[in-house]
Each structure stands twice: as structure tokens, then as C-alpha cells.
């Protein structure tokens, strides 16, 4: 009897943590009716051309968020709201932020787990800007010239 109870609890927890496939379908339908065609990665990156955003960051967002959310990210635009339009919290697995931070760290060698909160961003464009700035800060730190300590010998006269 205890095993059956554990199994039932596991199934209900699994359902709570799983993506809402109905909402995912609705968001994809909304994206299809709103835009004429899905953009390729290259065309999608051009949407951010007014920003000096790194193509590698854009490719990461395009590919990974498509995987996490099940949404056709070629139809997502910079002004789309993460929660109001895309419903990321509902269409992704419950722990998508953890997976995202791990994947970002693996690709960019930058741990965002202490500073990333999806609720800090209204739109996908704001999120992309944040990710780009984090990558740039990291690159600037690693490329900063190192000070050399020069020691001079003082001769005793």
C-alpha cells in the first residue's frame, strides 16, 4: 500500500513539474498567427542588429530556449514578454532555469546561477541584453592587462 501511495505522489509531482502542453500549443498557435514565417537563426539574429549582441549568445538563446520551451523560437521577437506572451514558466520544465544556467556555464564558462532570475526581465530582448553584457564583462576581465610588479634593487652606498 505504501508503494502505491509513493507512486501516486510521484505521478502528481511529475505533472506539477512538467510543461503545460496545452499552454505551449496555444503560445505556438499565437506565434504562428502573429508572424508570417519563422526566421532562420541568421535572420533572427538580425532582429537584434541595433544592439551589439554577440551572435554566439543569440544562437544560444535561439537554440536552447526552443529546446526548453518547445516554442518555435524563429517566431519569437525581441519585444515578446517572457511571461505575458511566451508563458515560459508554464511551457518549460519546472527546473528550466537550473538547466539554462548549467548550459550557459558549459558554453560560456560563466556561472549565472547566483545572478540570474527570469523575473528580472520583461522581454526576450532584455534577457538577451543581460546575457550579452555578462559575456562581455567576463571577456573584459580575462583580457584585462595584468599589472606587473617591478622591484628595484636599492644599492646600499
Domain boundaries, the chain: 18-139
| Residues 26, 85 contacting (CB under 8 angstroms) | no
Kindly report, residue by residue over 109-150, the tens digit of the pLDDT. 999 999 988 889 999 999 999 999 999 888 887 765 554 555
The C-alpha cell at 152 is: 628595484
Q: Which helix (H) or strand (E) holds 61?
A: helix 55-69
Q: Is the pLDDT of residue 154 over 60?
A: no
Q: Is the pLDDT of residue 73 over 90?
A: yes
Determine the Cα–Cα distance for residues 135 and 37; give it in Å rounded to an integer.
30
Confidence of residue 80 (pLDDT cuts 50, 70, 90): very high
Q: Is the pLDDT of residue 72 over 80?
A: yes
Confidence of residue 6 (pLDDT cuts 50, 70, 90): low
Determine the Cα–Cα distance for residues 45 and 52; give it in Å rounded to an integer.
11
Kindly report, residue by residue over 27-58, the tens digit of the pLDDT. 999 999 987 789 999 999 988 876 556 889 99
| Residues 124, 82 contacting (CB under 8 angstroms) | yes
| Residues 74, 40 contacting (CB under 8 angstroms) | yes
pLDDT for 155: 53
The percent of residues in the chain predicted with pLDDT above 70, rounded, is 75
Q: Is the pLDDT of residue 8 over 80?
A: no
Q: Is the pLDDT of residue 16 over 90?
A: no
Provide Rg for the chain, Cα atoms. Answer: 22
| Residues 121, 89 contacting (CB under 8 angstroms) | no
Compute the mean pLDDT over every residue in the chain, rounded to the nearest whole number: 82
Amino acid at each position: 500500500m505504501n508503494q502505491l501511495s509513493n507512486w501516486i505522489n510521484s505521478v502528481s509531482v511529475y505533472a506539477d513539474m512538467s510543461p503545460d502542453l496545452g499552454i505551449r500549443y496555444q503560445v505556438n498557435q499565437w506565434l504562428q498567427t502573429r508572424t508570417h514565417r519563422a526566421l532562420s537563426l541568421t535572420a533572427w539574429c538580425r532582429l537584434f542588429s541595433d544592439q551589439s549582441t554577440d551572435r554566439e549568445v543569440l544562437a544560444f538563446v535561439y537554440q536552447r530556449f526552443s529546446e526548453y520551451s518547445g516554442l518555435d523560437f524563429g517566431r519569437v521577437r525581441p519585444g515578446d514578454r517572457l511571461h505575458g506572451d511566451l508563458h515560459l514558466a508554464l511551457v518549460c520544465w519546472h527546473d528550466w532555469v537550473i538547466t539554462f544556467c548549467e548550459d550557459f556555464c558549459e558554453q560560456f564558462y560563466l556561472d549565472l546561477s547566483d545572478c540570474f532570475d527570469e523575473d528580472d526581465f520583461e522581454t526576450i530582448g532584455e534577457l538577451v541584453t543581460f546575457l550579452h553584457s555578462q559575456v562581455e564583462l567576463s571577456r573584459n576581465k580575462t583580457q584585462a592587462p595584468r599589472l606587473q610588479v617591478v622591484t628595484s634593487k636599492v644599492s646600499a652606498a
